A and B are shown apart, each in its own frame.
Chain A
Amino acid sequence: RKEVEQDPGPFNVPEGATVAFNCTYSNSASQSFFWYRQDCRKEPKLLMSVYSSGNEDGRFTAQLNRASQYISLLIRDSKLSDSATYLCVVNNDYKLSFGAGTTVTVRA
């Protein structure tokens, strides 16, 4: 079983729509959690950390459910520039483990 599993998508949504997707992780001892964004053929970039209480960063909302070991990301009012692959990431001590990514395409 992979450490981090994500729905690969793709999610194809119109501008202005809301899109949400989850990931699950296998190690209950994982310490911290992130969403990274990766554009085609570029390096991953940190989008936001994920906290148990849930957190927002502008149009992005992340939630963590430790009991069920899943993490979610919601994007409101989607923009064309949100088109990317979103990587779910968990930190086990010093090492980050990445999901395979969820592809989001926002169309005009």
Chain B
Amino acid sequence: DTGVSQNPRHKITKRGQNVTFRCDPISEHNRLYWYRQTLGQGPEFLTYFQNEAQLEKSRLLSDRFSAERPKGSFSTLEIQRTEQGDSAMYLCASSSWTANYGYTFGSGTRLTVV
């Protein structure tokens, strides 16, 4: 296990379609985070899991967004009825019990909604 893995790396979709991204964290990390990054901005927090429990969701996450981590291992982020404003880099990160040592990020999924 060499790091956080995200799939797909790139996704182009038509407006109104649903998309799903997957994240496989570092195996011994129990915390998993989703962030979104748009051009010229730093990553913005979307949601956070500790094991399989989703403990916080940002107000950035509209009802069209849902995230799961069914067995406390990999996670999925689904966006329904995509809009052009959803175009961004979606980053997954994981950490151990404490974030005092920072996160390890995956390479991200770049979403383009046309």
Interface positions, chain B 1-55, Cβ under 8 Å from A, are 31, 33, 35, 40-45, 48, 50, 55
In the complex, what residues of A have CB within 8 A of residue B85's CB?
none
A-B Cβ contacts below 8 A, count: 60
Q: How many residues of A contact B (CB 8 A)?
A: 25
Instruction: Tell whether A25 is near chain B: CB-to-CB under 8 Å.
Output: no
A43 and B108 in contact, given A34-B102, A91-B99 (Cβ under 8 angstroms):
yes
In the complex, what residues of B have CB within 8 A of residue A94's CB?
31, 48, 50, 55, 98-99
Q: Does A45 contact B101, Cβ atoms closer than 8 Å?
A: no
A43 and B105 in contact, given A87-B42, A94-B48, A101-B42 (Cβ under 8 angstroms):
yes
How distant is A65 from chain B, measured CB to nearest CB, in Å? 19
Closest 4 CB pairs of A and B: A98-B42, A43-B105, A46-B102, A32-B100
